[in-house]
Amino acid sequence: MPTTAAPVSVSELKDVARRVRSHIVQMVYHAQSGHPGGSLSAVELGVALFWNHLRCDPANADWPERDRFILSKGHATPFYYALLAERGFFSPELLRGFRTLGSPLQGHPSMGSVPGVEMSSGSLGQGLSFAIGHALSGRLDNRDFRCWVMMGDGELNEGQVWEAAQAVPHFKLGDRIIAMVDRNGIQNDGFGDDIMKINPPEMWRGFGWHVIECDGHDMAAVDQALTEAERPHDQPRVVVAYTIKGKGVSFMENNPGFHGKAPTAEQLAEALAQITEGLQ
């Protein structure tokens, strides 16, 4: 079944989000490395997208008409692999091998390693360009798939993002590419406002995009924002989701220390308890 027949309810989506969060903290704990903060912040965006918007067939991941999900913020692999496993692209059992020798689940995405991974990323700023190639190819071949590109806000520091941002409206690809920004406000070295203070909505508007802003952890709001992004518009759409780095685990929330650090055993137990508590 390539497409989702009926919209999945917000409460079901929230259940999926909790499972994804549990995977994330466990994967990073077992690997004792990885990026929990920017994985936890992206969960609602990813879940709403993969269950209610992305046209895909997990059993036939290379289906030519599929929508492409391109993870440009490649360090968010715990989120990405957990999402793909929960959506049925591969067995969740694979998640345990994350970042270990012999596992297909490298620290950053490697195209073709597991079904659903569309692009090799990890060096930031390259996803939107890659999506343009997909979209132009789709236009040339008369296919009507969409490319959904997820970027981080720290990633917007990269110049290539803006090389691509100017090209999307120029090539009139607004109905083929939808950008999403996980605006969690923290990057590798600290708070974005200290590292490089930027104003993403104004930047995107300046490049000719229609900006849709939402609370990135309000599942209904995220679902609604993605629906709005799908509507035809004379400008390309970008969803700027305001999120909290480390969302769902109190001691990781808004804590730059957990951008790329694993929890201890005690912290894992506490994190899982908090995530499960969220199940109620």
**Region of 122 on the Ramachandran plot (φ > 0 left; ψ -120 to 50 alpha; else beta):** left
Token code pair at residue 106: 């490298």
- What single-letter amino acid sits at 80? Y
Least distance to other proteins from the beta carbon of 118, Å?
7
Footprint on residues 94-123 left by other proteins (CB under 8 A): 110-112, 118-123
* Angstrom distance (rounded) from CA 162 to CA 220: 30
Which residue, 134 or 245, is less far from other proteins as judged by CB? Answer: 134
Residue whose C-alpha is closest to residue 151's, from 171, 121, 176, 172: 121
Token code pair at residue 40: 């936890």
* Angstrom distance (rounded) from CA 68 to CA 119: 10
State yes or no: residue 272 binds other proteins (CB under 8 A).
Answer: no
Q: Interacting stretch for other proteins, rule CB under 8 A, among 94-102, 136-144, 209-217, 262-270?
A: 136-144
* Angstrom distance (rounded) from CA 115 to CA 210: 32
- What single-letter amino acid sits at 212? I
Which residue, 106 or 243, is less far from other proteins as judged by CB? Answer: 106
Least distance to other proteins from the beta carbon of 243, Å?
25
Considering only 36, 138, 200, 248, the residue that binds other proteins (CB under 8 A) is: 138
Which residue, 11 or 142, is less far from other proteins as judged by CB? Answer: 142
* Angstrom distance (rounded) from CA 77 to CA 83: 9
Least distance to other proteins from the beta carbon of 269, Å?
37
* Angstrom distance (rounded) from CA 132 to CA 171: 9
Which residue, 52 or 129, is less far from other proteins as judged by CB? Answer: 129
Q: Are 12 and 78 in contact (CB under 8 A)?
A: no
Token code pair at residue 208: 């000719």
Which residue, 101 or 140, is less far from other proteins as judged by CB? Answer: 140
* Angstrom distance (rounded) from CA 209 to CA 149: 14
State yes or no: residue 214 binds other proteins (CB under 8 A).
Answer: no
Least distance to other proteins from the beta carbon of 108, Å?
9
Sign of the CA dihedral running 207, 208, 214, 220: negative
Footprint on residues 146-205 left by other proteins (CB under 8 A): 159-160, 163-164, 166-167, 170-171
State yes or no: residue 77 binds other proteins (CB under 8 A).
Answer: no
Q: Interacting stretch for other proteins, rule CB under 8 A, among 25-33, 131-139, 179-187, 196-204?
A: 131-139
Least distance to other proteins from the beta carbon of 232, Å?
23
- Residue ranges that bind other proteins, judged by CB under 8 A: 64, 110-112, 118-123, 125-138, 140-141, 159-160, 163-164, 166-167, 170-171
